[in-house]
């Protein structure tokens, strides 16, 4: 019940296209859903996050869509650029229960070709 | 702000040796986390501290692993004795109350 399932494992997108990464969870106590971006040789960096009281959050070209009833959330990268090539991790935690450890998905390696 | 600082960046050691990884969290962050990253298992939480107190060490693989946080600005993760299957990238992360983590650049451990 602590798992966060992420798909696809890898994604190849043309420059200018839309990249979509999906995650699903089971623990209804989760109430914080961040996405992290990791470049080779670096630690993951927070990209964007959402709470379950909203269905969508947008920051620039990055959008999180959240479906509470389906217990799913996704990251959309609009106008994908070669510089977006990285590994993306979804995660979840429960701030309400003060168990603020993040449970990570298995990651998606995104490659954007010019 | 220098971010979360980890040392060393790379460590190569022989099986059976003791390994100590170090982390300096961001000043003012009251939670600290140790993660391990491998291709097979992804990012696994090993242990985390709140206000220097270990809260959850259920992810520590076995007694060979231990972690300490003697004060708010320093933590160590020790493996004794090390084994080849411990080879991974170990990340330390810190966070203030209610906001996302900041990760360090990691320590790449190779046990031969």
B80 and B68 in contact (C-beta within 8 Å)? no
CB within 8 A of A91, min separation 6: which ones? Answer: A4, A33, A34, A35, A36, A102, A103, A104, A105
Question: Is A43 close to B33, i.e. CB distance below 8 A?
Answer: no
Residue A37's pLDDT is 97
Give the pLDDT confidence score for residue B1 in this predicted structure: 65
Give chain A positions within 8 Å (CB) of B33.
Answer: 101-102
Give the residue carrying structure tokens 């070209």.
A61
Instruction: Return the residue in A2, A101, A108, A109 with the most chain B beta carbons within 10 A, the one to mutate for interface testing.
Output: A101
Q: Residue A100's closest CA among B38, B48, B102, B5?
A: B48
Residue pLDDT, tens place only, A56-108:
999 999 999 999 999 999 999 999 999 999 999 999 988 765 556 888 999 99
Closest CB from A46, A99, A104 relative to B42: A104
Question: How high does pLDDT run on average in chain A?
Answer: 92
Nearest residue in chain A measured CA to CA from B10: A41
Q: What is the pLDDT along chain B (112 residues), one digit of tens a residue?
A: 689 999 999 999 999 999 999 999 999 998 999 999 998 888 999 999 999 999 989 899 889 999 999 999 999 999 999 999 999 999 999 998 777 889 999 999 999 9
Question: In angstroms, rounded to a whole number, what is the distance separating the alpha carbons of residues A47 and A58?
Answer: 11
Residue in chain B closest to A5 (alpha carbons) equals B42
């Amino acid at each position: 019940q602590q798992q966060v399932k992420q798909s696809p494992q890898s994604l190849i997108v043309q420059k200018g296209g839309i990249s979509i990464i999906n995650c699903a969870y089971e623990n209804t106590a989760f109430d914080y859903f961040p996405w992290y971006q990791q470049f080779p040789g670096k630690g993951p960096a927070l990209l964007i996050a959402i709470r379950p009281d909203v269905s969508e959050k947008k920051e620039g070209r990055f959008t999180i869509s959240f479906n509470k009833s389906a217990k799913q959330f996704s990251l959309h990268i609009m106008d994908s650029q070669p510089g977006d090539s990285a590994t993306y991790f979804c995660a979840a935690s429960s701030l309400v229960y003060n168990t603020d450890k993040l449970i990570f998905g298995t990651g998606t390696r995104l490659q954007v070709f010019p | 702000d220098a971010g979360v600082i980890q040392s060393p960046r790379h460590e190569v050691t022989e099986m059976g040796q003791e390994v100590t990884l170090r982390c300096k969290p961001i000043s003012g962050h009251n939670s600290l986390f140790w993660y391990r990253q491998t291709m097979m298992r992804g990012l696994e939480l090993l242990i985390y501290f709140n206000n220097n107190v270990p809260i959850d060490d259920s992810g520590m693989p076995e007694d060979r692993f231990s972690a300490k946080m003697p004060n708010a600005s320093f933590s160590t993760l020790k493996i004794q004795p090390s084994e080849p299957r411990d080879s991974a990238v170990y990340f330390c992360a810190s966070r203030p109350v209610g906001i996302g983590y900041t990760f360090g650049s990691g320590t790449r451990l190779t046990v031969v």
